[in-house]
Amino acid sequence: GQNIDQPTEMTATEGAIVQINCTYQTSGFNGLFWYQQHAGEAPTFLSYNVLDGLEEKGRFSSFLSRSKGYSYLLLKELQMKDSASYLCAFSSGGYNKLIFGAGTRLAVHP
């Protein structure tokens, strides 16, 4: 079967670093994607991994281990505007079907 899991809520302090973990199980895997979604808005693409290792994009980095079915999103120099839900999703099958996790609500406080 297919499933994906991430923590429901996290809190962090402005200026700090936070790591959001994601574990998944699937028989067919194309890639792992991270999206940010503010309340009432559409998801915004942040980062993705096709191969194992770390991908860095400014303040955001994402890591993938395919053998462990594990990914994380690292957010550095947290800002108040980073308070949002972070969605982990993997692509499976021949038509880029995205399977989303339930999302992690991150609250950044001063």
Handedness of CA 96, 49, 21, 77 (dihedral sign): negative
Give yes or no for residue 94 binding another protein (CB under 8 A): yes
Give yes or no for residue 93 binding another protein (CB under 8 A): yes
Asked if 93 and 14 touch (Cβ cutoff 8 Å), the reply is: no
CA distances from 50 to 19, 27, 77, 96, 106 (A): 19, 15, 26, 13, 25
* Binding residue count for another protein, defined by CB under 8 A: 25
The DSSP bridge pattern shows strands 60-65 and 9-13 to be: unpaired
In this chain, which stretch among 14-22, 40-48, 59-67, 70-78 interacts with another protein, using CB under 8 A?
A: 40-48
The contacts of residue 52 (CB under 8 Å, 6+ apart) are 64, 65, 66, 67
Q: Partners of 22 in the beta sheet?
A: 71
Give yes or no for residue 91 binding another protein (CB under 8 A): yes
Q: Which is nearer to another protein, 87 or 108 (CB)?
A: 87
Q: Which is nearer to another protein, 45 or 110 (CB)?
A: 45
Give yes or no for residue 69 binding another protein (CB under 8 A): no
DSSP category for residue 80: G
Give yes or no for residue 42 binding another protein (CB under 8 A): yes
> Whole-number minimum distance, CB 26 to another protein, in Å?
11
Residues that bind another protein (CB under 8 A): 30-31, 33, 35, 41-45, 48, 50, 87, 89, 91-98, 100-103
